[in-house]
């Protein structure tokens, strides 16, 4: 059981720690909306990771041949969605700055409720089926040490979920601190444009990768 928990933690952190376009978008959204919305978004990402970990231990190796043909199209859809969201965020920030209202937190992102943030980030992350392939590869690589019993598999999935959630919440905390520090009109405009640019760059890398 301990081995399954440790393997799940390592797997969860392994998939969560590399900050890609979704992670950058999570920080940007939290900076504009606050901790509650950012935390909900973080849990949406972690839920997707947990679901894919569950698929992996429930026989994900059988799914790999079916997932492989659609991984590239889904990855492209995810990248395009992120690009659209980043461009929209940048446009909203510029428009609100010109109207002189950016000093307040009402830059258009406040309409994103915690529930909507959770659903949005869950959907974006689910569009990356490479996550389940990653978990399957890890499980197959462990060979006879892979979680085999129902209890061990449950422990693996829960540990992976906890690991992913803890890291995503850490990113959300960073976004909260960023939002509190850069509260001036120019600071909020600069961070909105910088984060949108970063998201687009990372999403394009995902698109062509």
What pLDDT tens digit does each residue of the chain (209 aa) get? 777 788 788 878 877 877 677 888 898 888 888 899 999 999 999 999 998 888 778 776 666 677 667 777 777 776 787 788 778 777 877 877 677 654 444 444 556 799 999 999 999 888 876 676 677 666 655 545 556 677 888 888 899 899 999 999 998 998 888 777 655 566 667 766 776 787 777 677 766 75
Which DSSP state fits 2? H
Taking CA atoms, 161 is separated from 1, 133, 183, in Å, by 16, 16, 33
Domain presence at residue 57: yes
**Using CA atoms, how far apart are residues 9 and 158, in angstroms rounded to an integer?**
9
- The count of domains in the chain is 1
Q: What is the DSSP string of 150-164?
A: HHHHHHHHHHHHHHH
Domain presence at residue 201: no
Domain presence at residue 168: yes
The pTM of the whole model exceeds 0.75: no
Domain presence at residue 125: yes
Domain presence at residue 199: no
Domain presence at residue 104: no
Instruction: Find the domain containing 28 and state its range.
Output: 2-80+109-184
Which secondary-structure segment (H or E) carries 127? none
Domain presence at residue 190: no
Domain presence at residue 204: no
């Amino acid at each position: 059981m301990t081995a399954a928990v440790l393997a799940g933690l390592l797997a969860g952190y392994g998939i969560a720690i590399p900050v890609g376009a979704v992670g950058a978008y999570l920080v940007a959204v939290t900076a504009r909306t606050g901790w509650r919305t950012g935390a909900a978004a973080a849990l949406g990402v972690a839920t997707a990771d947990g679901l894919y970990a569950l698929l992996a231990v429930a026989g994900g190796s059988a799914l790999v041949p079916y997932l492989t043909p659609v991984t590239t199209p889904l990855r492209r859809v995810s990248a395009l969605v992120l690009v659209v969201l980043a461009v929209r965020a940048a446009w909203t920030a510029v428009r609100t700055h010109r109207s002189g209202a950016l000093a307040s937190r009402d830059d258009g992102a406040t309409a994103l409720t915690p529930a909507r943030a959770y659903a949005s980030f869950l959907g974006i992350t689910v569009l990356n089926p490479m996550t389940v392939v990653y978990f399957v590869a890890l499980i197959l690589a462990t060979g006879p040490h892979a979680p085999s019993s129902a209890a061990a598999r449950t422990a693996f999935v829960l540990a992976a979920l906890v690991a992913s959630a803890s890291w995503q919440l850490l990113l959300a905390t960073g976004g909260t601190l960023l939002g509190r520090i850069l509260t001036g009109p120019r600071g909020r405009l600069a961070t909105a444009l910088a984060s949108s640019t970063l998201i687009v760059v990372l999403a394009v890398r995902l698109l062509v990768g």
